């Protein structure tokens, strides 16, 4: 199989578009097998020219700057990395030239792949499935959007290797293959800075199942109204396995006491576990359904679920300081995720939120905040300030505090949060207006909290 993948690059004029983690992985793979082929790397960031990895390569052209997306039609193969947006680009002439590490993996290893996507929950579900497979002694790799480039492990794939691949909308946008098993956690409005419309974003996500056949499987959360509406419109022939709450007609369902598959009880919701909240019960249902589909040992699967620790920046308990417990939920970059966090924790007195305005509709979120049991809303730029103004207009009874920095937010939280309650930092917006990403924001929050005197 590896030989066939190498042939994908032979005798072609290739451009690697974007030179971050995946771009470097692609470059190293090609160079390992095709040392003398000419390559082009394009990236907006001019600093990539200083990268030691690409120094002294005589068969390399590097093009950077604001016009890096020009003249793509001159290449035979465009290896596009996820961070590159074609939002304002007419792809008509280059559509059949666009490929990626995910596209190539799907083409040659479809039967090995368990693909997971969704607006929220995909990293937790992917990691949870990976731990379940390991507990059941399966040879497996966790790859993709979780932060592990596919080509870093492609040489180690054997016929029986299971590949748990987290797939973002950016990765799925141009694929023409789907995995053998596709899992969809949910679909909410997001990434409007990357796509031309909400529907474009949804359709990119649905590519995870669009090209499946009757030998394949789609597991999805039917309780998500968007998925419930769009999945039937795919008109795919694959085996569709919906999961939901309180509806025994689904393949798997939860009655808030137990989770069932085909009316057989397979998991006690009251089990001692680290994944709290209904949104995590959905992730657990999806994982149990996969486990059943693969005929794994249910006892081992449940044990792996119950011992699984939440990923960093996802309702992560930072600690208790001056009788206030602080939680970091920096991954919550849309309103629905923030609401899920508030509901899961239950004793939230102060919410720190706000970030980059990407054009998301916040009307329902404003209504929720006004009616929630929260007392203190600490609002950061830009969306936090806009939402604060809307709440003030409707004469909310919440305590509204406008701050400009995360440091100010943490200091204010220390002053206003009631003892023996929770302060939750959950942005409901993207973090990269003032931070590189949600991880950087989450780490900054944890550092500030731990420095409270």
Reading the chain (453 residues) residue by residue, the pLDDT tens digits are: 899 999 999 999 999 999 999 999 999 999 999 999 999 999 999 999 999 999 999 999 999 999 999 999 999 999 999 989 998 888 999 999 999 999 999 999 999 999 999 999 999 999 999 999 999 999 999 999 998 999 999 999 999 999 999 999 999 999 999 999 999 999 998 755 556 688 999 999 999 999 999 999 999 999 999 999 999 999 999 999 999 999 999 999 999 899 999 899 999 999 999 999 999 999 999 999 999 999 999 999 999 999 999 889 999 999 999 999 999 999 999 999 999 999 999 999 999 999 999 888 999 999 999 999 999 999 999 999 999 999 999 999 999 999 999 999 999 999 999 999 999 999 999 987 889 899 999 999 999 999 986
Q: How many helices (H) and strands (E) does the chain have?
A: 14, 20
102-307 domain in CATH 3.30.390.50?
Answer: no
- Residue 77: φ, ψ to 5°: -140, 125
User: What phi-psi label fits residue 229: left (phi over 0), alpha (psi between -120 and 50 degrees) or beta?
Assistant: alpha
**Cβ partners under 8 Å of residue 352, min gap 6:** 378, 380, 406, 409, 410, 413, 423, 424, 425, 426, 445
Report how far residue 311's alpha carbon sits from residue 368's, in angstroms, rounded to the nearest whole number. Answer: 26
Helix (H, G, I), strand (E, B) or coil at 251: coil
Count CB neighbours of 129 within 10 A.
Answer: 27
Which pLDDT value is given to residue 246?
92
Token pair in block for residue 36: 């003398």
- Provide DSSP, 351-415: EEE--B--S---HHHHHHHHHSS--EEEE-TTHHHHHHHHHHHTT-SSEEEE-SSHHHHHHHHHH
Cα 428 to chain centroid, rounded? 15
Sign of the C-alpha dihedral, residues 148, 277, 432, 328?
negative
Cβ atoms of residues 259 and 280 within 8 Å: no
User: Quick one: which of 214, 202, 6 has its CA closest to 104?
Assistant: 6
Which pLDDT value is given to residue 433?
80
Ordered by start, the domain boundaries in the chain are: 2-99, 102-307, 316-450
Write down the CATH superfamily of domain 2-99: NAD(P)-binding Rossmann-like Domain (3.40.50.720)
Which pLDDT value is given to residue 194?
58
E-strand spans in 262-312? 264-268
User: Quick one: which of 82, 167, 177 has its CA closest to 116?
Assistant: 167
Which pLDDT value is given to residue 359?
85
Report how far residue 385's alpha carbon sits from residue 366's, in angstroms, rounded to the nearest whole number. Answer: 12
- DSSP secondary structure letter of residue 90: -
Burial of 213 (0-12, 13-18, 19+ CB in 10 A): exposed
Report how far residue 216's alpha carbon sits from residue 115's, in angstroms, rounded to the nearest whole number. Answer: 12
Report how far residue 411's alpha carbon sits from residue 395's, in angstroms, rounded to the nearest whole number. Answer: 25
Which pLDDT value is given to residue 192?
57
Which pLDDT value is given to residue 1?
84
Write down the CATH superfamily of domain 316-450: Mur ligase, C-terminal domain (3.90.190.20)
Token pair in block for residue 49: 């020219």
Burial code (b: 16+ CB inside 10 Å, e: under 16) for 54-65 equals beeeeebebebe
Report how far residue 206's alpha carbon sits from residue 195's, in angstroms, rounded to the nearest whole number. Answer: 14
């Amino acid at each position: 199989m590896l030989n066939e993948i190498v042939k994908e690059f032979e005798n072609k004029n290739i451009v690697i578009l974007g030179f971050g983690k995946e771009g470097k992985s692609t470059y190293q793979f090609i160079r390992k097998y095709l040392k003398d082929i000419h390559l082009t790397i394009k990236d907006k960031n001019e600093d990539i020219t200083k990268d030691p990895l690409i120094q002294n390569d005589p068969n390399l052209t590097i093009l950077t700057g604001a016009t890096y997306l020009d003249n793509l039609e001159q290449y035979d193969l465009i290896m596009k990395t996820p961070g590159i947006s074609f939002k304002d680009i007419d792809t008509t002439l280059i559509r059949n030239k666009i490929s990626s590490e995910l596209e190539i993996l799907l083409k040659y290893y479809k039967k090995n792949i368990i693909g997971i996507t969704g607006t929220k929950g995909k990293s937790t579900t992917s990691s949870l499935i990976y731990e379940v497979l390991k507990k059941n002694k399966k040879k497996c790799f966790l790859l993709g959007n979780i932060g592990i480039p596919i080509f870093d492990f492609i040489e180690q794939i054997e016929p029986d290797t299971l590949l748990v691949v987290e797939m973002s909308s950016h990765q799925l946008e141009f694929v023409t293959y789907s995995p053998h098993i596709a899992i969809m956690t949910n679909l909410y409005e997001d990434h409007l800075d990357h796509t031309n419309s909400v529907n474009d974003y949804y359709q990119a996500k649905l590519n995870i199942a669009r090209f499946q056949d009757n030998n394949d499987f789609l597991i999805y959360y039917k309780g998500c109204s968007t998925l419930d509406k769009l999945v039937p419109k795919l008109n795919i022939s694959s085996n569709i396995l919906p999961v939901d709450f309180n509806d025994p007609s689904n393949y798997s369902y939860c009655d808030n006491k137990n989770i069932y598959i085909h009316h057989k009880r397979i998991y006690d919701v009251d089990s001692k576990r680290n994944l709290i909240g209904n949104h995590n019960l959905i992730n657990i249902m999806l994982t149990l359904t996969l486990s059943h589909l693969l005929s794994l040992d249910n006892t081992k699967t449940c044990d792996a679920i119950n011992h699984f620790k939440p990923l960093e920046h996802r309702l992560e308990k930072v600690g208790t300081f001056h009788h206030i417990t602080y939680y970091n939920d920096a991954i919550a970059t849309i309103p629905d995720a923030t609401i899920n966090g508030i509901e899961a924790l239950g004793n939230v007195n102060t919410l720190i939120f706000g970030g980059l305005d990407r054009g998301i509709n916040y009307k329902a979120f404003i209504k929720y905040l006004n009616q929630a049991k929260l007392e203190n809303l600490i609002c950061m730029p830009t969306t936090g300030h806009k939402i604060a103004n809307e709440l003030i207009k409707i004469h909310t009874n919440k305590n509204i505090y406008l701050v400009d920095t995360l440091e100010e937010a943490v200091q204010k939280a220390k002053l206003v949060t009631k003892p023996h309650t929770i302060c939750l930092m959950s942005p409901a917006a993207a973090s990269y207006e003032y931070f590189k990403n949600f991880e950087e924001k989450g780490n900054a929050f944890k550092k500030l909290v731990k420095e409270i005197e």
